[in-house]
C-alpha cells in the first residue's frame, strides 16, 4: 500500500498532466469552432445570440467558460463576505437586506418574479414544457 505522501505526489503529477491535456484540447477545440464558424459564415454576434438560448450545461453557470483556462487553475471560492466586500467596505456603508428587486420575469397569467430566490412553480412548469426562461423576461 502506498503512503499518503506517495499518493499526494501521484495526484499532483496526474493533475498537471490533466491540465496540459486540457490546454491542448482547448486549443484544438477553439480551432475547430473557428473553422466551423468560417464554413457556415457564422458571426460572433450570431453565436452570442444563440448562446442566450442554450441552457448552461452541468457545472456551467453564468460567466463560466469565458477565456482560456490556466493550467492547473482552480475556481476561487467566493464567500458571502467576499461578495459584499465587508472587509474593504467604506465606513458607514449599509450591509444586509438589498430591498425589493425589480421584476425580471412575467408569466402568461400575469405572475411575476424578480429572479431572486427559488424558481416559482409557474415558471418551473413552463420550463418543463419546453419553454425558455428568456421567453418571459421583461
For the chain, give the mean pLDDT: 79
Residue 18 has pLDDT above 60, yes or no: yes
CA angle 17, 19, 24 (to 5 degrees): 95
The CATH number given to whatever domain includes residue 104 is: 4.10.430.10
Q: How many residues does the chain have?
A: 138
pLDDT band at 1 (very low <50, low <70, confident <90, very high): confident
Copy the grid coordinates of residue 92. Answer: 458607514
| Cβ neighbours for 15, distance < 8 A, ≥ 6 positions apart | 72
Residue 4, pLDDT score: 92
Q: Which residues pair with 49 in a beta bridge?
A: none
Lowest-confidence segment of 6-10, 46-50, 103-107, 127-131 by average pLDDT: 46-50
- Tell me, what's the pLDDT at 98? 74
The yes-or-no verdict on residue 82 having pLDDT over 80 is no
Give me the pLDDT at residue 8, please. Answer: 93
Q: Residue 6's domain spans which residues?
A: 1-52
- Residue found by looking up cell 501521484 in the block: 10
Last residue of a domain, one of 16, 34, 52: 52
Quote the distance between the C-alpha of residue 78 and its chain's center.
Answer: 14
In total, how many domains does the chain have?
A: 2
Tell me the per-residue pLDDT of 87-123, one tens digit each, with 9 for 90 and over.
555 655 666 677 788 999 999 888 999 999 899 999 9
**Is residue 72 a part of any domain in this protein?**
no
Give residue-wise pLDDT tens across range 45-64. 888 888 888 776 655 554 44
Contact call for residues 104 and 138 (beta carbons, < 8 A): yes
Closest CA to 80 of 99, 92, 96: 96
Amino acid at each position: 500500500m502506498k503512503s499518503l505522501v506517495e499518493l499526494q505526489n501521484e495526484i499532483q503529477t496526474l493533475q498537471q498532466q490533466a491540465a496540459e491535456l486540457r490546454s491542448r484540447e482547448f486549443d484544438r477545440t477553439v480551432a475547430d469552432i473557428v473553422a466551423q464558424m468560417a464554413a457556415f459564415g457564422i458571426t460572433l454576434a450570431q453565436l452570442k445570440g444563440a448562446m442566450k438560448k442554450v441552457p448552461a450545461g452541468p457545472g456551467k453557470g453564468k460567466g463560466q467558460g469565458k477565456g482560456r483556462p490556466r493550467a492547473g487553475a482552480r475556481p476561487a471560492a467566493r464567500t458571502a463576505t467576499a461578495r459584499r466586500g465587508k472587509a474593504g467596505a467604506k465606513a458607514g456603508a449599509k450591509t444586509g437586506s438589498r430591498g425589493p428587486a425589480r421584476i425580471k420575469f412575467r408569466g402568461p397569467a400575469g405572475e411575476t418574479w424578480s429572479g431572486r430566490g427559488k424558481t416559482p412553480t409557474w415558471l418551473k412548469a413552463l420550463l418543463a414544457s419546453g419553454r425558455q426562461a428568456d421567453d418571459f423576461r421583461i
